[in-house]
Amino acid sequence: MKACVLHGVGDMRTEQVPDPFPGPGEVLLRVRACGVCGSDIPRIFEKGTYRFPLIPGHEFAGLVEAVGAGVDSAWTGARAVVYPLVPCRRCAVCETGAYAQCADYDYLGSRRNGAFAEFVTVPTWNLIRIPEALGFEEAAMTEPAAVALHALRRAGVDTGDRVLIFGAGPIGLLIGKWAELMGVGETLMVDVDLARLRFAQSIGFRHLLDGRQADPAEWAQKKTGRGADIVIEASGSAAAFEHSMGAARTGGAVVLLGNPAGPMSLSQDAYWAILRKELRVLGSWNSARVAMPKDEWRLALDAMSSGRLQVDRMITHRVGLDDLWDRLQMMRDHSEFHCKVMAVNPQGMAKNNEDGEDNRDGKHGIDSSHL
Ligand SMILES: [Zn+2]
Ligand SMILES: [Zn+2]
């Protein structure tokens, strides 16, 4: 099969490798779509995977091609999305069902082979059938959609809440979409990249700030009257971490989920804000795949297949395995605007999906010059 194999940090090659063979309890999945996660960029270019060579790619969906020993043959031909974390299901944490906190987990695309390939083997426990109405590309968005939902559920979002999101990347936008679906009062978004803000506006967000042009905490106070009920830090920037404390209202919640770009520290004022305002500062990690009815993966699939959560417009680039390396470098260098980049098999369409929309008319309504 063809696969994008990471041989070392910054050394990925698209090459022919032997087809994987499904072991007991596993299926062979023909990959139809695999999103590039923001975390794949440092994984491929800076930190590396747990071992080499390894095939990255953990946001994927496909078709079950064959089943291994002991697997129900009814899986053959099924359309499925894959929860990429393989918990040990033996440790004390796994017994509670909090699999994302497993002490000894495996992970498709960082610890074992993932889906930047034509095929991948997957334990049946990790498969979830894709609802009829949902295509493979949208299904491949289930993982980031579940991660976004998890962050809001951590905060205990309520109807009417004013939610401020730092970072208008795929996760930030998905958080915003979920927030609106959950009936929040207002969704405010801050980024330092105007192209991202324009894109956020094109998919329906109205309260946007270029964080280089004004103080986000002051802006949030002005927009909401008393500060945001919930602040979600989805950018990983130290400046946003600092601003989060100032932007939250007294008694509000700050949820941290952006992968930190470097050391994160707080000024004395921001630290005081946590104390004085009695903020709830919460971490959010991964997503919860638990028993029904609050399995965040099924909630995400339901929301997408019913049309309540629309993710297709967030896919700005579709690319085949032969061109994936170029696109990863584009993402690393920010040489072109992108939201979600999707590796699409077999050869991709390599088309830009921005449907020719032009937001460069200056009347974009993004708060970038006041104060
Ligand atoms: Zn991801
Ligand atoms: Zn475990």
Q: pLDDT digits over 202-237, tens only?
A: 999 999 999 999 999 999 999 999 999 999 999 999
DSSP letter at 225 equals S
- Which whole number is the average pLDDT over 117-143? 96
Q: Are 244 and 271 in contact (CB under 8 A)?
A: no
pLDDT at position 208? 98
Closest ligand relative to 286 C-alpha: 1
How far is C-alpha 286 from the geometric centre of its chain's CA atoms? 9
**Among 71, 54, 167, which residue's Cα sits nearest to residue 113?**
54
Closest by Cα among 56, 60, 69 to 22:
69
Cis peptide before 53 (omega within 30 of 0): yes
Q: Is 371 exposed, middle or buried (0-12, 13-18, 19+ CB in 10 A)?
A: exposed
Ligand 1 centre and the CA of 60: distance in Å?
10
Distance CA 53, CA 11 (A): 10
- 272 C-alpha to ligand 1 centroid (Å): 33
User: Confidence class of residue 177 from pLDDT cuts 50, 70 and 90?
Assistant: very high
Q: What CATH architecture applies to the domain 144-283?
A: 3-Layer(aba) Sandwich (3.40)
Q: What is the CA radius of gyration of the chain?
A: 21
Domain extent listing, the chain: 2-141+311-344, 144-283
pLDDT classification of 354: cutoffs 50, 70, 90: very low
Euclidean distance between CA atoms 360 and 298, whole angstroms: 38
Nearest bound ligand to the CA of residue 57: 1
Cα(110) to centroid(ligand 2), Å: 17
Q: What does the pLDDT read at residue 292? A: 60
Fold matches, 2-141+311-344 and 144-283? no
Q: How far is the CA of 92 from the centre of ligand 2 (A)?
A: 7
**Facing residues of 6 across strands?**
12, 54
Collect all residues with Cβ–Cβ distance below 8 Å to 178 and sequence separation of at least 6: 145, 148, 149, 152, 303, 309
Predicted confidence at residue 359, as pLDDT, reads 35
138-173: pLDDT as tens digits: 999 999 999 999 999 999 999 999 999 999 999 999
Q: What pLDDT shows up at residue 291?
A: 65
- pTM (two decimals): 0.91
* pLDDT of the residue at 370: 40
Q: What is the mean pLDDT of residues 294-311?
A: 95
CA of residue 343 to ligand 1 center, whole Å: 14
pLDDT at 361 over 50: no
Tell me if residue 280 falls in helix, strand or coil: strand
Q: Is the pLDDT of residue 62 over 60?
A: yes
- Check whether 348 has a pLDDT greater than 80: no
Mean predicted confidence (pLDDT) in 271-277: 98
CATH number for the domain formed by residue range(s) 2-141+311-344: 3.90.180.10
Strand partners, 343: 34, 319
Residue 256 has what pLDDT? Answer: 98
Q: Which helix (H) or strand (E) holds 26?
A: strand 26-35
Q: How many Å lie between the centroid of ligand 2 and the Cα of residue 269?
A: 40
